Amino acid sequence: MQSRWFPLVLLAAALGGWMTAELAGDWMWLDHLTELVRTAFFAALKMIVAPLIFFSLFAGVMELRNSSSMGRLGAVTLAYYLVTTGIAVCIGLIVVLWFHPWTSLPPLVDDPSVLGGLTLADARLIDPGDGSTLTLVSNLLLRMLSNPFLSLSQMNVLGILVAAILFGLAAALTVSEDSPLPKLMRDLAQITYRVAAWVLRALPLGLFAIAYQMADQISLDTATALLQLGAAVLGATAFHGLVVLPLLGWLASGIPPWRLLSKIAAPLITALSTSSSAATLPLSMQTAEEKLGVDRARCAFVLPLGATANMDGTALFEGIAAIFLAYMFSVDLNTTSIIAIFLVAMLSSVGAPGIPSGSMAGMQMVMLAVGIPLEAIGLLLLIERPLDTFRTAVNVEGDLIATLVAKRFS
């Protein structure tokens, strides 16, 4: 688990890389060394992205295997999670399309190709230069129904998503209760999380190299843009968590929004302090039973499922961050690109690990879907962890309100 000092370590690494570049002058050996470190770091990220997407989503979908046997409860819960995640992404996209002050600042990079060709054009879902709806639909279908092995090797994000969902659903409906497959897929997902954690241990070193290589572009304008991004994310997250979700809870239970928030304050504070929906799960179950009056059977189904499949705050963040990074790295987006961001942000939030910064795997999926270079994620990591605490609280809040919806309609 990451130390609470980890965000400060990342900030120190970024500042250290920038200051070293400013003070070093023309040290060719250091230029070559940091380029090697940067390239190796992003190669390691790309190595883990495809299996992380596939196994985490496959395992997440298999966790829904009991929904069919739970009948109406499963249908109501899944419908609620789908609707609220869609609302969250829409809020994020509306906010960022309306409130985007960073566009008054110059982009960080004028040409993404200067980043070493890591834009992964083959993984891109949308060609901004092609306005044909028929061509777009054809392209999407070809990406969706691609050979899964080719999708994995070519980083075809949509193909990986569709294959994981289809095979996961088929496995959930086919294998017996005592089959070892669900445990195997969970173990494989955990293995990919562990490898990703190993890669992220090198994050300070990678961030140092990125900051060193991009020192000419990093400026006060970049810091200002990041603060503006943070304001947009916090505003949208607050609206979803303080307005949308409490209103849904009020409609389902009749509990006024302010009373509802006071009843679930303890797990929300825990989520804020731990940045982990999984760590908050025991307290969430206790709160749902004792404060909200939901029976144990519903809590035992809805809350663990939500900790895996319901990530409203994560989906909202990914939508806003993708549009921000596209501008900062001069990646053209059109209406169909926005739709792709909407769809992939929704899908990538399913199966996201309920751990601090667990959304970064999904963020990479969204970036690859519209051709944003993976290097851009280094910029997000400077402010991602503080924002993670708030969106984790929204994720937990959505799960708790789901128990009220399940109690009312199932």
34 contacts: CB under 8 Å, gap ≥ 6:
17, 208, 209, 212, 213
Residue pair 247/111 in contact by the 8 Å Cβ criterion? no
Predicted local distance difference test score (pLDDT) of residue 111: 60
pTM: 0.67
- Which of 55-59, 247-251, 308-312 shows the highest mean pLDDT? 247-251
Q: For residues 143 and 137, what is the distance between their CA atoms, to the nearest angstrom?
A: 10
pLDDT in tens, 313-330: 888 888 888 888 888 888
Q: For residues 206 and 204, what is the distance between their CA atoms, to the nearest angstrom?
A: 5
Mean of the per-residue pLDDT values for the chain?
A: 77
Q: Which fold has domain 6-409?
A: Proton glutamate symport protein (1.10.3860)
pLDDT in tens, 270-286: 787 667 776 687 788 88
Among 201-215, 281-295, 351-365, 395-409, the minimum mean pLDDT is found in 351-365
Among 54-68, 85-99, 233-247, 376-390, the minimum mean pLDDT is found in 54-68
Predicted local distance difference test score (pLDDT) of residue 125: 46
Predicted local distance difference test score (pLDDT) of residue 246: 95
pLDDT band at residue 351 under the 50/70/90 scheme: low
Predicted local distance difference test score (pLDDT) of residue 350: 62
Q: For residues 266 and 331, what is the distance between their CA atoms, to the nearest angstrom?
A: 42
Q: For residues 117 and 120, what is the distance between their CA atoms, to the nearest angstrom?
A: 7
pLDDT in tens, 135-182: 555 666 776 788 888 877 776 766 777 788 788 888 888 888 788 888
Among 80-94, 361-375, 382-396, the minimum mean pLDDT is found in 361-375
pLDDT band at residue 185 under the 50/70/90 scheme: confident
Centroid of chain to Cα 183: 24
Mean pLDDT score, 4-28: 72
> Which tokens belong to 150?
């080719």
Predicted local distance difference test score (pLDDT) of residue 380: 78
User: Residue written as tokens 């570049």?
Assistant: 21
